[in-house]
Structure 1
Amino acid sequence: MQRQPNKNWRLQGDEPDYRFSLANERTYLAWIRTALALLAGAIGIDQLAPDLANQDLRLVLSVFLCLCSGALAIFAYRRWALNERAMRNNKQLRYTKFLKVISGLLFALTIFIIIMVLL
C-alpha cells in the first residue's frame, strides 16, 4: 500500500518571513472583528430596537446579519489559510471577488435599514 503525501499545508514549502505571517494574521483578525460587529448588530437590532420596525422586519434583518457574520468568519479563516499556504510555497496571493459581494451586501443592508427607519 502506497503512503499518501502529507496534506498538512503547515509542513509544506518554506517558513515565510514572520512579518508577512503576522500581517496575514492581523488581516484575519480584522475580518473576525467585522464578523463580530455584524453579530453585535444583529443582537442589537433584535433586542434593543423594538420601535425600529415591526417584529418580522427586525427578525429578517437580524437573521441576515447573523448569516453574514458566520459566512464572513468562514471566509476569514479560508482566506488566511490560502494566503499562508501561498506564502509557504512562494506563490502569488490570490485576489478575491468576495470583496465585491461584501460591498453589495452592505449596500443592500443600508437600503433595508433606511426603509425600516422610514416605516
Structure 2
Amino acid sequence: MSARGRFPASVYAHGTEPDARFTLANERTFLAWIRTALALLAGGVALELLGLELKSELRLAASLVLVLTGIATPVLAWFGWGRAERAMRLSQPLSSSPLGAVLGIAVSLAGLLLLLAIVLR
C-alpha cells in the first residue's frame, strides 16, 4: 500500500519504511497507553459511583483528575506514536514522551486528594 492510502498521511508520507518490528513495537506502546487510559477512566468512574464515605468534594476532585487524565492519555499517546513513527521513518533519534510525567503527576494528585478525603471524613 502506498503512503498516499495510509492513515495518517502526515506520518506515512515521510521517509522510508522502517523495520516492521520497530513499527509494531511502537504500536504496542500506543495500545499500552490506551489500556492505561481505560484503567484511569474506570478508576475515576468507580471512585465516584461506589459512593465511599469520604469527603465528597475531595472524592469528586480525585475522580475528575482520573477521568480527565484518562481522556487526555489517548490524545497524547496518538501524538507520541506519530512522532516516534515519523522519527523512525526519517532515521532520526526518538524524542522523549511527556506522557509518563503527566500520568505520574495526575495519579499522585488523585492519591493526595483521596488521602485528604480519608483523613478529613
Category of TM-score, reference length = shorter chain = 0.7 to 0.9
Amino acid in structure 1 at the alignment position of 2:112: I
Amino acid in structure 2 at the alignment position of 1:101: V
- CA deviation map 1:82-106 (0-9, x unaligned): 1001111111100134423322222
Amino acid in structure 1 at the alignment position of 2:25: A
Aligned position for 1:96: 97
- CA deviation map 1:40-85 (0-9, x unaligned): 001101111x133133222222222111111111111110011001
Find 1:43's aligned residue among 41, 45, 61: 45
Instruction: Give 3-state SS (helix, strand or coil) of 1:8's partner.
Output: helix
Q: Would you say how many aligned residue pairs link Structure 1 and Structure 2? A: 112
Amino acid in structure 2 at the alignment position of 1:27: T
Instruction: Give 3-state SS (helix, strand or coil) of 1:69's partner.
Output: helix
Instruction: Report the identity percentage.
Output: 38
Structure 2 length normalisation: TM-score? Answer: 0.82
Distance 1:47 1:116 in 2: 16
**Structure 2 residues not aligned, in runs of 5+:** 1-8
Indicate yes or no: 2:53 matched with 1:65: no
Distance 2:55 2:118 in 1: 10
Structure 1 length normalisation: TM-score? Answer: 0.83
> Structure 1's 110 and 56: CA in aligned 2 closer, same or farther, altered over 3 A?
closer
Q: CA deviation at 1:109?
A: 2.0
Aligned position for 1:3: none
Give structure 1 regions of 4+ aligned residues with deviation exceeding 4 angstroms. Answer: none
Instruction: Give 3-state SS (helix, strand or coil) of 1:91's partner.
Output: coil
